[in-house]
Amino acid sequence: MPKVIPPRSKVNPKYTWNAESVFSSDEAWQNEVDRIIADIPLVKNFQGRLGESAAVLVEAFKAYESLAARMSIANMYASFSNAVDTTDQKAAGMRDKAGGMVGQVASAISFFQPELLEVGKARLDEFIQQDEKLAAYEHFLENLFRKQQHVRSSEVEEVLGMVSDPLGGFYNSTAMLTNADFRFRSIKDNKGTTFEVTQGNYDVQLMGLPDRKARKAAYASYMDKYVEFKNTLANNLAHNIKTNVFNMRVRRHESTLGASLYDLNIPTSVYHNLIETFRKNLPVWHRYFEIRLKALGLKKFAYYDMWAPIEKRKVKVPYEKAVDMICEGLAPLGTEYTDTVRRACLTERWVDVYPNQGKTQGAFSSGAPGTHPFILMSYTDEMVSMSTLAHELGHSMHTYFTGKNQSVINMDYSLFVAEVASNFNQAMLRAHLLKNSRDRNLQVQLILEAVGSNMFRYFFQMPTLARFELETHERAERGEPLTADSLIDLMADLFAEGFGPNFEMDRERVGMTWATFPHLFADYYVYSYATGISGAHALSNRILRGEPNAAEDYLGFLKAGNSDYPLNVLKKAGVDLTTPQAVEETFAVMEGYIDRLEELLG
């Protein structure tokens, strides 16, 4: 890993995403966007005709899915092009143009659901009996009529489609500010080595430096830039929350939480169960923090100590070796799964691997019907990067199997189930390495990655952010102001409770943590990280225990997509997230890791 992050132009193409497999050039993308907009009438022409006959409805669905798929591909290409280099002004312009296209398509197809409701369930059931091709849309129609009371008239739905782009701009504004415009102070370690601070290397490299003063300097450099722009960042988030309140009221829901979870047929008790179970198990986290405190020889620990190395010798895992180890851990799922992973990583270029200047922070997987699901990350040849790769491959394989087995309208599986597949891969990889490796150093670092990185993010930060999100939305619903200082105070208080008595609180920097999570711009998304990791461990435990058909059940989950409600899809795979059991089971797994870590550290 170079200490100086290269510009995008200097990255080996072998380790960049296969953009040309989607569009041969940016010009080809531009031509397709123009054609998509020109073809909008192909769907609009069905307006007022959906109830004519089963044959007409089949053709309407085909036109709807075709336009939606093409829109998704073009939007993904523009978004990914921008994400790998946010300083590329051409890519930024493409992303904005794609956003406008999405708004036009959303407006054009907005008549579909209100008109289907006007046709009525009885007539649509007759159509399904008359033409078997409509069976693929049976769940879509069932879900539509379930939500009937919250679907507005064609005119209102058209307006909601038209405003989706301008009301969705708060995330883009924040992303451009933090990824393209932010410039952080460089820092030096105790050997005099200078490190740039970027979105790509802050989490995975700088917070893992052994030099505490260097970690603190990197943390200060990073968070001070967010604090400097706290009012702009708070304004963006506040208006995004107000947009959620607006949509909740337009669709006549009683709360933003209820509106968000209602869409997926998830009771609000799932959200509250998670928060209550998390708070009940905070002593488990306090025990882990105490172990870290002793291992680092500190009297109190700070936020920037969470990723500090306990072992002096880091286990190096080059990218290609990581692919091998991931495939070994996932072998119980069969050769189709592992062979696809190898092709994805080594020959088909699903992964944009290494950091470069302007690359957006974090990692994600993004796919569209008819393309490879692509992964953005900043690989650093370390344990945490291998785990991140396994995680994002879980997302990509979920998209891959869903795409192979579902119609376009059922491909877009929900955010609620998305984090199950990703964390499942990590749980399987971890279990494989802990069982088969005799390297004490590797085991320690693997557990530190599991608890101190993965679980800390998904099972500590995300539930804390879920509490923050619920409170901020409830304040907005009551008409209370959301200022930078009020958001900082709320976040600091929640983390103070979570970290416990030995935490060295830097209120302004710690309280600004919410601004480093763009996930908060996706309405009530962060809680699903915690429910997702819980579902993942419950399902992986079934396979690790050797339960009959456990692997087949899990593959069935990957193939199901959005063909049923997410809770039902998970129940068929073997986990019930309407109860706290999976959350408790995951805390038990975490306690097992902590026991082993304590034993390894003596």
The amino acid present at 425, given as its one-letter code, is N
In the sheet that 351-352 helps form, which strands lie side by side, from edge to edge? 351-352, 374-376, 364-366
* CB neighbours of residue 258 within 10 Å: 15
DSSP string, 366-408: E--TTSPPEEE----SBHHHHHHHHHHHHHHHHHHHHHHHS-G
In degrees, rounded to 5, the angle at the alpha carbon of residue 39 between the alpha carbons of residues 37 and 45 is 120
Which two tokens mark 498? 């979570």
Catalytic: 392?
yes
Cα–Cα distance, 459 to 536 (Å, whole number): 12
Cα–Cα distance, 584 to 440 (Å, whole number): 28
69 within 8 A of 36, measured Cβ to Cβ: no
* CB neighbours of residue 451 within 10 Å: 23
Instruction: Please give the DSSP secondary-structure letter assigned to residue 561.
Output: T
226 within 8 A of 233, measured Cβ to Cβ: yes
* Closest CA relative to residue 446, chosen from 315, 536, 305: 315
The amino acid present at 10, given as its one-letter code, is K
Give the H or E element holding residue 342: helix 335-346
Cα–Cα distance, 125 to 554 (Å, whole number): 31
Cα–Cα distance, 409 to 561 (Å, whole number): 10
Cα–Cα distance, 524 to 536 (Å, whole number): 19
Sign of CA dihedral 140, 142, 143, 149: positive
* Closest CA relative to residue 585, chosen from 538, 540, 530: 538
Cα–Cα distance, 440 to 190 (Å, whole number): 28
Cα–Cα distance, 444 to 437 (Å, whole number): 11
Instruction: Give backbone dihedrals phi and psi of 188, rounded to 5 degrees, phi first.
Output: -125, 145
In degrees, rounded to 5, the angle at the alpha carbon of residue 304 between the alpha carbons of residues 303 and 310 is 110
Cα–Cα distance, 11 to 378 (Å, whole number): 12
Alpha helices of 383-483 — where are they, by DSSP H? 383-405, 415-436, 440-447, 456, 462-477
The catalytically annotated residue of 65, 158, 392, 419 is 392
Alpha helices of 85-192 — where are they, by DSSP H? 89-108, 112-119, 121-130, 138-146, 154-167, 169-175
221 within 8 A of 207, measured Cβ to Cβ: no
Pairing between strand 364-366 and 351-352? Answer: unpaired
Pairing between strand 194-195 and 364-366? Answer: unpaired
Hey, which residues are catalytic here? 392
